[in-house]
Amino acid sequence: MAAGLSKRPANLADGPFLWTAGSDSLDLRIARVVKFGIPGTDMPGHEVLSDAEVLALTDQVLSLRVP
């Protein structure tokens, strides 16, 4: 499925999360991407999700990270 996307998706296990530039914490940057998406890519925003749902997805993404 990734081959059909306009940009290659991020490797959530290893990163780096280049599309989350900024000085905020990684969890806040990922939550922002979950909520608002990434302009110019196939990653849509999910603004209909509650803050609790966004935080749960953020925790899931962070759990994929290699220590």
Q: What is the mean pLDDT of residues 9-13?
A: 68
Q: Rounded to an integer, what distance in angstroms lies between the CA atom of residue 12 and that of residue 49?
A: 20
Closest CA to 34 of 13, 52, 16: 52
Please tell me the distance from the alpha carbon of residue 57 to that of residue 51, in angstroms, as a whole number: 10
What pTM value is reported for the model? 0.75
Range of the domain at 14: 2-63
For residue 27, give both structure tokens.
């969890």
20-67 tens-digit pLDDT: 667 788 888 889 888 998 887 888 899 999 999 999 999 998 888 766
Instruction: Give me the number of domains the chain comprises.
Output: 1
pLDDT of residue 67: 67
Residues 48-57: contacts with CB under 8 Å, at least 24 apart: 55/31, 57/31
